[in-house]
Homo-oligomer: A and B are copies of this chain.
């Protein structure tokens, strides 16, 4: 549906809701995909959305709630009783169910779980709640099909049929031993073309990629991407098969991580969207601006320390923003490459080699920029700027090269250091790097100027 079609549909829907015309509302929404319904509900106001949720059957609304925008989801769950939420949960696969329960307040969590009639389902969900949300355990679901390697084909098919009854789609048939340890997978083709008495252990494929329950979500994403997998099995510490991760959940994770990194680099500290309200946007944007402002004061203090140069070498102060901006830009470039290299594993070799490479690169870039600066300075600025003589021009050029080298080293070193400390290096990109490089850049600039010009 296009945005216009959505709006048209939403307006009609709001009219029927206002008239409390339940039959028309149900009729309009019938047959739509849960993801589309969730988008429509996001457009309604809260009371209207709650009205629709209460009106539709829980087998439909469960999937809608799982797809809703976080804000609306939270509000809707706040307004549903533990019993109502439990009814929704019964309809969901374990991973989606666990994601919803994880967001409830502690006491409501317990109530909802106690209201789930299917005790096996409840047990699976409780197990999933134990895992960190950014781990393989946090991404996996408990819906999968497994057969014992000691069974024969006949028994395997019968058991599979039982297990697959409530599953929308079976992706892989896993093979385990008597201790439930993952041993391999079974192709459907093999199963269909083998005599019913053949033991599974004679026909299964033991070449299988898997992850461990405590592996990070990043590792899961890397594995599935590298081997082009649609599903991957998850084993616990003893090798027992405990879950399965499907690629759709990993795609959502990859998208979210990319958005987070991008926002972090842009100095936005919370996950916000363009349609969030002003207060949410302020909370996300103000913290880094305050940090940068305090950093700005540091540069004020540094500059005031060189205030005595103002009389004779005022031109230096005209160049301060140019130097600071270059330092910031170079720092961000360096840190971005390191952060990305750490994320996708292309950053190999020692730190010292890496720093040496940055120095060579900065020297090259710096010299080219310095030549451009001297040319522009000589042919364009000579007439405009008083006192911008060769000595001054060389001072600025030499400072520029030095600042570029130092800025790139800071930009390289800080994310590497944070990574070693176990801190997400992405925080080092954006305002953090620009602010610190501004201060260092200005300090280096004036220190070199002082050495050359003498003031």
Contacts and interface: CB of A to CB of B under 8 A. Distances in A.
A225 B247 contact: no
Contacts of A351: none
B273 A341 contact: yes
Interface stretch (A99-107, A127-135, A194-202, A288-296): A288-296
Contact of A364 (B267, B278, B299): B278
Contacts of A285: 330, 333, 361, 365
A248 B258 CA distance: 17
A80 interface: no
A292 B346 contact: no
Task: Identify whether the interface residues of A are mostly helix, strand, loop, or mixed.
Answer: helix
A336 B262 contact: yes
Contacts of A292: 325-326, 329
Contact of A307 (B268, B303, B314): B314
A455 interface: no
A451 interface: no
Interface in A91-127: none
A266 B429 contact: yes
Interface centre among A340, A373, A385 (most CB of B within 10 A): A340
Contact of A289 (B35, B246, B326, B335): B326
A453 interface: no
A368 interface: yes
A325 B434 contact: yes
Contacts of A369: 286, 289-290, 293
A384 B251 contact: no
A390 to B, nearest CB: 17
Given A230-B230, A266-B429, A274-B338, A324 B326 contact: no
A262 B263 contact: no
B361 A300 contact: no
A5 to B, nearest CB: 14
Contact of A299 (B267, B321, B361): B321
Interface in A416-448: 429-431, 434-435, 438, 442
Nearest to A376: B297
Contact of A435 (B252, B318, B325, B372): B325
Interface string A298-324: 011101100100100011011111111
A138 interface: no
A234 interface: no
Given A225-B252, A230-B247, A263-B340, A275 B346 contact: yes
Contacts of A258: 254-255, 258, 261-262
A206 B180 CA distance: 40
A9 interface: no
A28 interface: no
A285 to B, nearest CB: 5
A3 B290 CA distance: 41
A205 to B, nearest CB: 12
A360 B347 CA distance: 43
A263 B434 contact: no
Contacts of A314: 307, 310
Given A325-B435, A333-B268, A369-B289, A347 B230 contact: no
A281 interface: yes
B438 A266 contact: no
A430 to B, nearest CB: 7
Nearest to A360: B278
Contact of A274 (B266, B315, B341, B438): B341
Given A321-B442, A325-B324, A429-B266, A255 B225 contact: yes
Given A278-B361, A300-B318, A431 B310 contact: no
Given A297-B322, A429-B266, A248 B230 contact: yes
Contacts of A294: 376
Closest 6 interchain pairs by CB?
Answer: A296-B322, A274-B341, A266-B336, A258-B258, A228-B248, A303-B318
23 contacts: A33-B227, A229-B248, A262-B340, A265-B336, A266-B335, A266-B429, A267-B329, A267-B332, A268-B337, A275-B348, A281-B337, A281-B357, A285-B330, A289-B326, A300-B385, A301-B381, A301-B384, A304-B318, A304-B385, A307-B314, A321-B442, A328-B328, A434-B434
